[in-house]
Amino acid sequence: MRSADLHPYPAAVLETARRRRLFGPADRVLVALSGGADSTALLAALAALRDAGALAEVRALYLDHGLRAGSEPEAASARAACARLGVPLEERRLAVGAGNVQAEARRVRYAALREAAARAGSTRIATGHTLGDQAETVLLRLLRGAGARGLGAIPPRRGVVIRPLIDRTREEGDAYLRALGLGWADDPTNAAPRYARNRLRLELWPLLRAVAPAADRALARAADLAREDERALDRRARAVAGDGTAVDVAALRGEPLAVRRRAVRRLWRAATGSGRALEAHHVAAVLALLRRRGPGEIALPGGRRARCRYGRLELLAGPAAPAPEVAPVEVPGPGRYALPALRVVVEVGAARPDAVPWPLTLRTRRPGDRFRPDGGPGGTKLKRWLIDRKVPREARDRLVLLAAPGDAVLAVPELGAVAEGLGPSGAGLRVRISAAPGTDGSYCKGGEGLL
């Protein structure tokens, strides 16, 4: 079979299918048929390709969403087209729930299409989205301030769902139907001004075409370019974040902002199974944790949390757990000391051990603790010092401290801070925290003051 033997319209659809890898000769395609011009043109083109051997089978599903009276003309048009083209047709009435009607209708529509495809053994589900639909989607998302992912607009293929008309205009489809003598029904809601897409199509689009006659093709090409950029950036984010719910902070900091954003979204999808509910301001808030000098945590939708500490950024479910009870550990001198409750090992050393007032204690904070940082202002309450550094309460209660007897804190290793006289020009005190052997990797292995 050669595309030259076909009418130019189905030949162009076949070229799109080959270039975008939408279907092959062995595929069995279920068409989402509304009875309108676009889906009827899709049906006719695929039926022609079936007859030419480019497809194994074409079937159709007509769905009545039950959202308005007077839908019988569309159903009748769908029946007539299928009878004329020799395509088996299934009709179903859907129940659309409350809320965002358009979003709910789309959800139940695609669920019904997938169910019908599974019953019929169809390997592809084809929808009638055209070049014009693609251009309109790009423009609407651009007006909302979308990034590359949003500007990629309608993917030509997502799983088993394909859009064979994505490179064809509505006018081309209408001309093909007229050449076949095949009618269609117009949905009156397509002229309803309450929908932003209709207003764009009826009011703004004629003005755009007056300025740039090829505006639809230019915008559709921009969508292809944005989609390619998005795929490249997402591959890089996958290399950094993997498929889990935690990522190494140092690795993430080393990436461009565009990759960091996508890495956070990957963590969210891994944690929730969906990319929904996480908005741009949530992503920005998560990335702001990376700029903290100390540990931090923020709340996210659905009761989830993002936490940054010990060199790891994690997405967690549920409220923060209470701080564990940490038994103080005596530090008589340099060495390695375990804090089992926090699953860490602390290594204590000094360039001049004789300048350190041993014995000391590893513990968490207590009321009345005071800290006078080396090279900083005068002594202050540790609580105020931590608040000034925007360390959240939950993180403050988990900080490991190296303290002298009483309320004098000598080191806050997770913040890279030591007390006056114990810095490089004095005792050269060093306190290093690492994950205890056998832990799940939630803590970074090594790093003084790296959170």
Give 260-315 pLDDT, tens digit per residue.
999 999 999 999 988 888 999 999 999 999 988 777 888 899 889 999 977 899 99
Backbone dihedral angles phi then psi of residue 35, each to the nearest 5 degrees: 90, -10
Give the global pTM. Answer: 0.70
Q: Say whether 92 sits in a helix, a strand or coil.
A: strand
Please tell me the predicted confidence (pLDDT) of residue 321. 67
Q: Say whether 284 sits in a helix, a strand or coil.
A: helix
The tens digit of pLDDT for each residue in 105-153 reads: 888 999 999 999 999 999 999 999 999 999 999 999 999 888 898 999 9
Strands 28-33 and 124-126: parallel
* Cis status of the peptide bond prior to 359, with omega within 30 of 0: yes
Please tell me the predicted confidence (pLDDT) of residue 446. 35
192 or 84, greater pLDDT: 84
* 185 vs 179: CA distance, rounded Å: 16
Please tell me the predicted confidence (pLDDT) of residue 56. 98
How does DSSP classify residue 110? H
Using CB atoms within 10 Å of the CB of residue 144, give its burial: 0 to 12 exposed, 13 to 18 middle, 19+ buried: exposed
Query: Is the predicted pLDDT of residue 450 greater than 50, yes or no?
Result: no
Kindly indicate the confidence band of residue 422, based on its pLDDT and cuts at 50, 70 and 90. Answer: very high
In contact, 3 and 153? CB cutoff 8 Å: no
Kindly indicate the confidence band of residue 226, based on its pLDDT and cuts at 50, 70 and 90. Answer: very high
Range in 70-84, 176-190, 379-393, 409-423 with the lowest mean pLDDT: 379-393
Please tell me the predicted confidence (pLDDT) of residue 445. 33
In contact, 276 and 288? CB cutoff 8 Å: no
Strands 344-350 and 335-339: antiparallel
Q: Tell me what the mean pLDDT of segment 329-339 comes to.
A: 95
Query: Is the predicted pLDDT of residue 66 greater than 70, yes or no?
Result: no
Query: Is the predicted pLDDT of residue 451 greater than 60, yes or no?
Result: no
Task: Identify each DSSP E strand in 106-202 by its residue range.
Answer: 124-126, 157-158, 161-162
Q: Which amino acid does the sequence have at 418?
A: V
Query: Is the predicted pLDDT of residue 11 greater than 70, yes or no?
Result: yes
Please tell me the predicted confidence (pLDDT) of residue 1. 46
Q: Tell me what the mean pLDDT of segment 184-212 comes to.
A: 84
Query: Is the predicted pLDDT of residue 212 greater than 60, yes or no?
Result: yes
Q: Tell me what the mean pLDDT of segment 189-208 comes to.
A: 82
Q: Tell me what the mean pLDDT of segment 55-69 comes to.
A: 86
Residue whose structure tokens are 């007229």: 178
Please tell me the predicted confidence (pLDDT) of residue 189. 72
Q: Tell me what the mean pLDDT of segment 314-320 comes to.
A: 82
The answer for residues whose C-beta is within 8 angstroms of residue 156's C-beta and 6 or more apart is 16, 20, 22, 162, 163, 166
Percent of the chain with pLDDT over 90: 67
Mean per-residue pLDDT of the chain: 89
Task: Identify each DSSP E strand in 282-328 by its residue range.
Answer: 296-300, 304-309, 312-317
Query: Is the predicted pLDDT of residue 392 greater than 80, yes or no?
Result: no
Can you say whether the dihedral through the CA atoms of 442, 443, 444, 450 is positive or negative? positive
* 377 vs 115: CA distance, rounded Å: 69
Greatest alpha-carbon span in the chain: 99
Please tell me the predicted confidence (pLDDT) of residue 377. 65
The answer for residues whose C-beta is within 8 angstroms of residue 389's C-beta and 6 or more apart is 292, 293, 294, 415
Please tell me the predicted confidence (pLDDT) of residue 388. 82
Please tell me the predicted confidence (pLDDT) of residue 443. 38
* 125 vs 103: CA distance, rounded Å: 19
448 or 114, greater pLDDT: 114
Cα torsion through 349, 352, 357, 363, rounded to 10: -20
Please tell me the predicted confidence (pLDDT) of residue 317. 86
Please tell me the predicted confidence (pLDDT) of residue 4. 57
